Homo-oligomer: A and B are copies of this chain.
Amino acid sequence: MARRSRRSSEARTSVPAAPYIKRVLPFFDPMDEDQLAKMEAQVDWMLENIGVAFRDDPVALEIWKAAGFTPSGEFGDLIKADAQWVRAQCAKAPSEFVQHARNPARSVTIGGNNQVFAPIYGAPFVRDLEGGRRYAEFADFEKLVKLAYMHPNLHHTGLVIAEPTDIPVSKRHLDMVLAHMTLSDKPHLGAITEMERAQDSVDMAEILHGADFMEENCVIMGNVNTNSPLLVDKVVTQAIQVYCGRGQGIVVVPFILSGAMGPVSTAASVAQAMAEAMMVCAFAQLVRPGAPFVLGNFLSSMSLKSGAPTFGMPEPVISNYAIGQLARRVGLPLRCGGSLTASKIEDAQAAYESADSMHSTMLAGANFVLHSAGWLEGGLCTGFEKLIMDADRLGGYQKVLVQGLDVSDEAMARDAYEEVEPAGHFLGCGHTMRNYQTAFYEPALSDSENVESWEEGGSLDMRARAHAKWKTMLEQYEAPAMDVAKREALEAYVARRKEELPDAWY
């Protein structure tokens, strides 16, 4: 038990860095047949009797009309559909698909038994131990993209790891997409907030991947929220027209704070999320049959004290397990969960909530997990330390998923019992010597030493270790190799579009 080189700056792990997780562990199905039948009946009832409004996008309504639908309701935009037809439309989307990265070794498979972890999306603030809490700027954003690229437990870099608030809203997407394309070679998302921004993202992807390749393959996706309850606005339908229209992927996520954007019960909110996302999938398949579609769910509970959203609580935990089972029945890839918390800082609250949230996300089989690292303060703030702390834990989940319980002959270690007497020890036996180096996940940020060693090292808490870790990582950052002509073409595209676009801050 002698001390050796403690806290090396690199994680040592028995899990080889892989582009994504190929799960062998079984799924956890929380519902029996009766519960499942009731939930699916509720989804079908909503599709057929309640419907989903498609608002503010006449083109979307034309697409529905061309498919034989007559929108109804007060605003003439409510779509009700035969549930079997909706399910048949959903069946046109692939149950799994590859999102190609510019580095083929980084391409990920989304759906089926595969799981992909990506960082937080959309926070306007950042926080770190040195700089405190502040509006995120592009310099922060670049650091965060570098860290997501470097971390072996993140498979995908997402997009808005933090909002670069020092760049006009009208131009921000160009700098963000360019940063993901040049600072990293992992797969990432494109912009969605305006149709033109979605188009810029897809056009830049075409420069990077080539039009021919892109015609046949998914290289970029957009991530959009429905306007729950039961409304889909033009951000969603236009993003689908741009992304799915080009055969690219779309992630559609009802965000439901139970009791506000959905009923106060978990079952009803989960069924509503299914109905909303399935109706949008049916629409996406009208736009382009076979377009990659990820069914999303983001469900949060509520504090009775204040109405504030709460995270890592039992209701979202059970919702993760339930939506996993439902999504597998529909055969669509799932996005849900993440390392979510309402805590403002990287304290025990943040970690308890994030771990319960992410443990259920992991076991539920979520195929694409935005927010798997870095989330603080209900998503308003990206924590530099939190990003590194969460990502460290993701390696453990990865091992559970890819290994399950290994019952091979070697794992059974029968020869070891020939060597070791009762009350003896296995430290030096042949089986241990053959296997110890890969036996255990070795996280970089957990300190497991005795209290004396820990005190000698300065009594650092996990935050302080995470701070040192990300600073070191950034010092070691090297940009991945990139074709110079492509890089220049992307830079020229961004420069031209910045000329064309006005500075706007909304």
Q: In the complex, how many residues of chain A place their beta carbon closer than 8 angstroms to a beta carbon of chain B?
A: 140
Q: Are A405 and B351 CB-contacts (below 8 A) given A271-B412, A310-B440, A416-B263? A: no
**A380–B262 CB distance below 8 A:** no
A502 to chain B, nearest CB (A): 29
A227 CA to B302 CA in the complex, in Å? 48
A347 CA to B454 CA in the complex, in Å? 13
Contacts of A349 in B (CB 8 A): 351, 445-447, 461-462
A321 CA to B362 CA in the complex, in Å? 14
Contacts of A410 in B (CB 8 A): 265
Contacts of A318 in B (CB 8 A): 400, 403-405
Choice from B420, B423, B440, B449 contacting A53 with Cβ under 8 Å: B423
Contact with B along A410-451 (1 / 0, CB 8 A): 111110110011111111010110011101111101111111
A4 contacts partner chain B, Cβ-Cβ < 8 Å: yes
**B353–A352 CB distance below 8 A:** no
Question: Which chain A residues (384-409) contact chain B, with CB distance < 8 Å?
Answer: 389, 393, 396-397, 399-400, 403-407
Choice from B74, B309, B445 contacting A448 with Cβ under 8 Å: B309
Choice from B347, B359, B422, B435 contacting A230 with Cβ under 8 Å: B422
**A412–B305 CB distance below 8 A:** no
Contacts of A57 in B (CB 8 A): none
A292 CA to B349 CA in the complex, in Å? 38
A307 contacts partner chain B, Cβ-Cβ < 8 Å: yes
Contacts of A321 in B (CB 8 A): 405
Most buried by B among A53, A347, A352, A454: A352
A343 contacts partner chain B, Cβ-Cβ < 8 Å: yes
**A267–B412 CB distance below 8 A:** yes
What 7 new A-B contacts, CB under 8 Å, besides A8-B305, A303-B448? A12-B304, A53-B422, A229-B426, A259-B432, A263-B429, A268-B411, A348-B351
Closest to A1 in B: B307
A313 CA to B359 CA in the complex, in Å? 12
A467 to chain B, nearest CB (A): 12
Choice from B352, B377, B442 contacting A451 with Cβ under 8 Å: B377
A468 to chain B, nearest CB (A): 14
A344 contacts partner chain B, Cβ-Cβ < 8 Å: yes
Stretch of A37-45, A62-70, A170-178, A211-219 on the interface side: A37-45
Which 6 residue pairs spanning A and B have beta carbons closest together? A355-B355, A351-B351, A263-B413, A348-B351, A342-B448, A53-B422
Contacts of A39 in B (CB 8 A): 405, 407
A368 CA to B381 CA in the complex, in Å? 39
A129 contacts partner chain B, Cβ-Cβ < 8 Å: no
Contacts of A303 in B (CB 8 A): 440, 442, 448-449
